Amino acid sequence: MSDKRNILIFDTTLRDGEQSPGCSMNMTEKLEVARALATLGVDIIEAGFPIASQGDFEAVKTVAGEVSGPVICGLARSLEKDIRRAADAIKPAARPRIHVFCATSEIHRTYKLRRAKQEILKMSVESVQLACTLVDDVEFSPEDASRTEVEFLTEVVAAVIDAGAKTVNIPDTVGYAMPAEFGDLIRYLRANVPNIDKAVISVHCHNDLGCAVANSLAAVRAGAGQVECTVNGIGERAGNAAMEEIVMAIKTRSDFLNFTTNIQTKRIYPSCRLVASVTGQTIPRHKAVVGDNAFAHEAGIHQHGVLAARETYEIMRPEDIGIPSSKLVLGKHSGRHAFKQRTEALGYSLTDEQIDKAFEKFKALADKKKDVFDADIEALIDEQIEQAPEVWTLGGVQTTAGSRAIPTATVTLVKEGQSHTDAAIGDGPVDAVYQAISRITGIKPRLTDYMLRALTGGTDAQGEVTIEVEYEGRRFRARGVSTDIVEGSARAYLAAINRAATWTNGERTRPAQP
Ligand code: KIV
Ligand code: ZN
């Protein structure tokens, strides 16, 4: 029996993560991510903010009904309508939780809520009491806790625990705290809230000053029992504490951090890849734990050291994170069996039908490209998973361009079995393709970001295009992959347009987000 304290991992990728610009996911993607989180072993999934929109409500309800294992949580402001909506959404879950929040800091009280301390206290208590009549498991967050007067914070925390909150979350909402200071705050609350042992202390740290993970770990050392985090650290502004960094810090530094988590660390890499893929937010190469360079050694002296003894420059083992150990190459003579085995090693568990589809694409790729690497296989499967809201599909794209030609594109798109073809000119071939796609679909978003990278080495490498567009006040990110970068660009743009189209078909109005 371990003497280590187990820390609960509360994952808010589907709520705080999804809330950040360009990270919106559709229902299929949310369900896919929720299933991956359950396999990963997170203790609680915050599946969304049900009052935010009909789409959010449906997503939380679907996750609650279809994903078993973790507690499924829905977020609510301290308002009766939010709390009842959250309760309805999480009803299908075996273990439902309502997470109620109310801002407590002076700046939020004055400018956002325009309420005095006593009113905030009353709202917080009454909302927890109401939530407790609807579910057994209620969590409360005093939003902007780290900038709240500590005496008032102590009073609120004690009152909501008396009202029935089983978890009290202390958010560093704007990423303002410093690690030692945040640890001290948790220690202070443990020492000064008389009923603190009746609740689990949770922390929720944002990364505005790059301290989210450090603050979370300082809080755990000070007695927090739950950490709120997101896969790849996605979230509002600079993001939330990254799940993979917290978990691997606890595992790698178990000599110093006397804790455990229930996370199956071998599922970390596939989960991070999945979230990157469905949100279109690529993992930076230098990202801790899961970035492409996290286990790459460039300097000769480092390479020499690692070859002699891996521990000289590697503090974690890639296999513990689920990073595929071999970069096995497949080619056009590889069979379905070898392909399926490779997808399993990469962390996918695909149905026979999905394998058949992916294998067909793999064969087409292997005809164009001599060696097919892991990154190519991941890209084609991810593209297949991302294809959920396919309103329009790409029938074909043809361009003429050159230093003396006017860039021209002819594009064919297919919608409900009908082909639509149009042509356009542009500043370059990609611009011409985007103009033609917009003419056909009638959707003309503003391109706010465009990134092209080679998935592997070699001039025959596939190009991965990641774009962000803005449409009717919302940002959508999407990806397209092809050996032809113009076609990859077209695929990315079309995927973004499909996201915008399905979003518009859903609904656009959202209440103020936390
Ligand atoms: O950052 C924050 O304060 C939040 C709360 C809703 C917990 O996301
Ligand atoms: Zn947050």
* Residue 327: band (very low, low, confident or very high) from pLDDT cuts 50, 70, 90: low
For residue 200, report the distance from its CA to the centre of ligand 2, in Å.
18
Closest C-alpha to ligand 1, atom 6: 514
- For residue 341, count other CB atoms closer than 10 A to its CB: 14
Q: Judge whether residue 490 has pLDDT over 90.
A: yes
Contacts of 58 (CB under 8 A, 6+ apart): 27
Q: Between residues 285 and 64, which one has the greater pLDDT?
A: 64
269 lines ligand 1 (CB under 6 A): no
- Position 119 scores a pLDDT of 98
Measured CA to CA, the distance from residue 105 to residue 6 in angstroms comes to 30
19 Cβ closer than 6 Å to some ligand 1 atom: no
Most confidently modeled range among 200-204, 350-354, 468-472: 200-204
Rounded distance from Cα 206 to ligand 2 centre (Å): 6
Query: What percent of the chain clears pLDDT 70, i.e. is strictly above it?
Result: 95
The reply to whether ligand 1 has any atom less than 6 angstroms from the CB of 477 is no
Contact, 206 vs 172, CB < 8 A? yes
Q: What is the pLDDT of residue 27?
A: 87
Summarize the confidence of residues 202-211 as an average pLDDT. 98
| pLDDT band, very low/low/confident/very high, at 325 (cuts 50, 70, 90) | low
From the CB of 101, is ligand 1 less than 6 Å away?
yes
**Are the C-beta atoms of 207 and 233 separated by less than 8 Å?**
yes
Q: pLDDT tens-digit profile of 43-55?
A: 999 999 999 999 9
Query: How far is ligand 2, taken at its centre, from the CA of residue 172, in Å?
Result: 8
Where is pLDDT greater, at 398 or 295?
398
Does ligand 1 lie within 6 Å of residue 204's CB atom? yes
Position 312 scores a pLDDT of 84
pLDDT of residue 509: 36
Residue 232 predicted with pLDDT over 60: yes
| 514 in contact with ligand 1, CB cutoff 6 A | yes
Distance between CA 282 and CA 492 in Å, rounded? 13
Name the band, by pLDDT with cuts 50, 70 and 90, for residue 511: very low
Residues 74-126: tens digit of each pLDDT: 999 999 999 999 999 999 999 999 999 999 999 999 999 999 999 999 999 99
Which amino acid, 85?
Answer: R
pLDDT digits (tens, 9 = 90+) for 416-469: 999 999 999 999 999 999 999 999 999 999 999 998 988 877 888 889 898 989
Query: Nearest-CA neighbor of 205 among 192, 218, 196, 193?
Result: 218
Model confidence at 328: pLDDT above 80: no
Confidence of residue 507 (pLDDT cuts 50, 70, 90): very low
Distance, CA of 80 to CA of 168 (rounded, Å):
19
For ligand 1, whether the C-beta of 49 sits within 6 Å is no
Smallest CA separation from ligand 1 atom 1, residue: 173
Nearest atom in ligand 1 to the alpha carbon of residue 206 is: 1
pLDDT exceeds cutoff 70 at 2: yes
Average pLDDT of span 166-179: 98
Q: Which atom of ligand 1 is nearest to the CA of 16?
A: 8
**pLDDT value for 309:** 79
Asked if pLDDT for residue 287 goes beyond 50, the answer is yes
For ligand 1, whether the C-beta of 230 sits within 6 Å is no
Q: Which residues, at least 6 apart from 202, have a Cβ–Cβ distance to it below 8 Å?
A: 8, 10, 139, 167, 168, 169, 170, 224, 225, 226, 227, 228
Q: What is the pTM for the complete model shown?
A: 0.82
- Please tell me if the CB atom of residue 171 comes closer than 6 angstroms to any atom of ligand 1: yes
Of 310 and 229, more confident? 229
pLDDT at 460: 84
pLDDT of 298 > 70? The answer is no
Q: Which ligand is nearest to the CA of 171?
A: 1
Q: How confident is the model at residue 506 (pLDDT cuts 50, 70, 90)?
A: very low
